[in-house]
A and B are shown apart, each in its own frame.
Chain A
Amino acid sequence: DVKVTQSSRYLVKRTGEKVFLECVQDMDHENMFWYRQDPGLGLRLIYFSYDVKMKEKGDIPEGYSVSREKKERFSLILESASTNQTSMYLCASSGRAGGGYNEQFFGPGTRLTVL
């Protein structure tokens, strides 16, 4: 079974705090993704990574950064949390597409509340 795990299901932080969301996959996947999910907006891509130490901006990278020091781990960092970053955060991973498509496997999500 493919497994994508996220460090917390629920998280409450205060405005201005630095927040780390961790994601780990156990399938040796090259690609990893961070999305945020908001009602009425679906999932929007924040950042993605095709390889270790590599990162690319998605559609809404402002206010976020990422780190991928090991193949299995992809971290999302909120440098200074703000209330408009209250959301559900989903991590996903997939194998290298190679001209086709490999299914993305999702973690359970982290519901972050910023007070």
Chain B
Amino acid sequence: AQTVTQSQPEMSVQEAETVTLSCTYDTSENNYYLFWYKQPPSRQMILVIRQEAYKQQNATENRFSVNFQKAAKSFSLKISDSQLGDTAMYFCAFTNYNQGGKLIFGQGTELSVKP
């Protein structure tokens, strides 16, 4: 069975600094997708970034980038120039090509950006 683990329940960072959120996963599949979702306080969950496993290049979206280490089954999220609006719960998630879009989520990391 596939699993996703986020070992940092809470993190904090000063505004304008960089923070990295960790995620590891376990699967025997070779073709899959990995995601980071953001859930701001009292607001809807939105997709931040995604990575296809067959792509060696790490995905980036503006201030958000990932470090995808397929052999180590590691998928960390780096947030550069942190902003107060980045304060949220962040979830790492996984799906493989055969799961019809079903997601498996990690436990979440609550990130606080401090002024």
Chain A residues within 8 Å of B, Cβ to Cβ: 4, 31, 33, 35, 40-45, 48, 50, 58, 90, 92, 94, 97, 99-104, 106-109
Contacts and interface: CB of A to CB of B under 8 A. Distances in A.
B95 A43 contact: no
B55 interface: no
Contact of A42 (B33, B46, B91, B101): B91
Contacts of A31: 100-101
Contact of B107 (A42, A100, A102): A42
Contact of B97 (A45, A99, A108, A109): A99
What are the nearest 9 A-B pairs in CB distance?
A106-B45, A42-B105, A43-B105, A97-B101, A42-B107, A101-B33, A108-B44, A94-B101, A42-B108
A45 B102 contact: yes
Given A40-B9, A42-B91, A102 B108 contact: no
B102 A33 contact: yes
10 contacts: A4-B44, A40-B9, A40-B108, A42-B108, A43-B91, A45-B104, A92-B45, A102-B101, A103-B50, A106-B45
Contacts of B95: 101
Interface in B9-32: 9
B26 to A, nearest CB: 15
Nearest to A29: B101
Contacts, number: 52
A45 B91 CA distance: 14
Given A99-B97, A108-B43, A41 B103 contact: no
B105 A44 contact: yes
Contact of A104 (B6, B101, B108): B101
B24 to A, nearest CB: 14
Contacts of B100: 31, 50, 97
Task: Give the interface centre of A31, A33, A101, A102 by most chain B CB atoms within 10 Å.
Answer: A101
A106 B33 contact: no
Contacts of A100: 97
